[in-house]
Structure 1
């Protein structure tokens, strides 16, 4: 089993769609593609992937910013590892790589959100040294008030 973790280049960004739809099944596919293409143009964003035998099996977007309370930080976003290979230590390996990658870019902290309905992810992040410091609130401004 050959494992590779790397930054996914903008011209390959749509390769994340099959994994992203497992995480985000409510957003219409064309809208999801449109959003991913728009996100990939942002200079404060990059997407990293974990590949096994050249097949993309995990992704995480990384949003970089500077915060007054912690300095330069990164927010892993849309983190997912293919369900069929979970429990093999790939998440730990992926986040170890992310830690080193963002440290090399000068990050002083990592902040992330995880859905309240996903207790397995909570356990994973606790085990990786993350602590809960607050709540994430969302207000949908669109007329339909839907989350997608």
Structure 2
């Protein structure tokens, strides 16, 4: 557990425990990915369990019991940048934005990257999310490439759910 204190908005950052935090986690994921069916998100979350994927949550309230932000991450290696932390989604509840919670989460991810010997942090953001792009630039990130994607035909045998 990590406490990040601010005089105006105390925030508790801690690893997520899906057995305890799944409902709040799913609510934030649905806000981030409204076009993806909840059943599909649940299946994908289930598929991540047991992998090297990790997730931190930001909690506020009198008992630090209200999840207001989260970020998944992986530690990976690439030839172009060596060992790096990849931010695999990053969201702060709309009502809690501009209160410093995202910056606290980012600082925690930077600490994790340093502690685990990473040389770099990488992430993707949607081209339509100009506020997110501004946030990342304010954190010292720069645009270094383009992420291309191509949807493949959905096959239920592969666990794909529409």
TM-score, length-normalised on structure 1? 0.90
In the alignment, structure 2 segments of 5+ residues that lack a partner are 1-8, 156-161
Q: How far apart, CA to CA, are the structure 2 residues paired with 1:79 and 1:115?
A: 12
Query: Offset at 1:13?
Result: 5.6
- Is 1:4 the equivalent of 2:17? no
* 2:6 equivalent in structure 1: none
- The partner residue of 2:57 within 22, 36, 49 is 49
CA RMSD in angstroms, aligned pairs only: 1.7
Paired residues of 1:3 and 1:51 also in contact (CA < 8 A) = yes
Deviation above 3 Å: which 4+ runs of structure 1? Answer: 10-13
Unaligned stretches of 5+ in structure 1?
none
Instruction: Provide closer, same or farther for how the CA distance between residues 143 and 11 of structure 1 changes in structure 2, counting only shifts above 3 A.
Output: closer
Matched residues, number? 144
- 1:99 is aligned to 110
Spell out, residue by residue over 1:99-138, the C-alpha distance to the aligned partner (whole angstroms, 9 max, x if none).
0022111111100000000111111111111011110000
> What corresponds to 2:88 in structure 1?
77
Distance in 2, matches of 1:111 and 1:143, equals 28
Matched, 1:23 2:32: yes
The CA distance in 2 between the partners of 1:114 and 1:13, in whole Å, is: 24
Structure-2 change in CA distance of 1:115 and 1:123 (3 Å): same
**SS in structure 1 of the partner of residue 123 of structure 2:** coil
